[in-house]
Amino acid sequence: MAILLTGNSKIIVQGITGHQGQFHTKAMLNFGTNVVAGVTPGKAGENVYGVKVYDNVRSAVDETKADTAVVFVPAPFVKDAVIEDIDAGLSLVVIVTEHVPFHDVIDLLEYGQSKVTRIIGPNCPGIASSGLSKAGIIPNSILKPGNIGVLSRSGTLTYEIVNQITKAGLGESTVIGLGGDKVVGSTFTDLLSLFENDAQTSAVVMVGEIGGSAEEDAADFIKKNFSKPVIGFIAGKYAPPGKRMGHAGAIISGNKGTANSKITALESAGALIAASPEEVPRLLLESI
């Protein structure tokens, strides 16, 4: 039945009256997402593609019983926006916005964990449960209902690999972009545990990149706690040590965080590693 987002999810779009908010709200509605409200301070009473706009999250939740928010507000205002979501009791918040201050993210994660709110992002393409609902910016055209879960640190590679899965005649249960920042709301390990318990998901594709230890941590979890096939792809294999490659989290220190260390860890956990995005469907078909 997919994870985190279902056909019953009720979604608020924060920053709905901005250019990005409007554009992606339309795409979410076209996907079939149940967008029940928008929030932009000072714009209460307006509507965007038939979606009513509220001044604040609390009033939107009280009237619509929303459970999820997708955040398009500018980076300096993300902290206040997400605190509103947490205080309103939303179970899921997806932060698409990039360049959110590091310490703001730390504060939000601590606050969210003290309540009931799971955070995805920031700096991420969001979540899509194929055929059911979408919170974020993953293109509608590449998604197809199926049984493959996808977890990715890279937005662009998310789109490429999901497209390859769909073109091969497979399909996706839920696709999640974790975000490329050094600290993000949910990790591979957090989300693998949900896929393990999802009857619809038969295998998971994990798209990692250099920097940090998230993939190695996931490998340890897979070895001990994950029973389904995992196909991995690690970007940045030829990046020089100490070189930042686009994402704040994609920086190598010494022998840690290298593509080879991640590949070795995942292979030791039983994952199959694709040499290119195009190889992912073949490995999936061999595994399921």
Active site residues: 247
Q: Are 51 and 39 in contact (CB under 8 A)?
A: no
Residue ranges per structural domain of the chain? 11-120, 138-287
Decide if 11-120 and 138-287 have a common fold: yes
The CATH number corresponding to 138-287 among 3.40.630.40, 3.40.50.261, 3.40.190.290, 3.40.50.170 equals 3.40.50.261
For the question of whether the overall pTM of this predicted structure is more than 0.95, the answer is: no
Among the residues of the chain, which ranges form H helices? 19-31, 57-64, 78-87, 102-114, 155-167, 188-196, 214-225, 259-268, 280-287
Q: Give the SS3 label for residue 220.
A: helix
**pLDDT for position 255:** 56
* Topology at the third CATH level for domain 11-120: Rossmann fold (3.40.50)
pLDDT of residue 246: 52
- The pLDDT assigned to 212 comes to 86
How would you write the pLDDT of the chain (288 residues) with one tens digit per residue?
A: 799 999 999 999 999 999 999 999 999 999 999 999 999 999 999 999 999 999 999 999 999 999 999 999 999 999 999 999 999 999 999 999 999 999 999 999 999 989 989 999 999 999 999 999 999 999 999 999 999 999 999 889 999 999 999 999 999 999 999 998 989 999 999 999 999 999 999 999 999 988 888 999 999 999 999 999 999 999 876 555 555 555 545 454 455 578 899 999 999 999 999 999 999 999 999 999
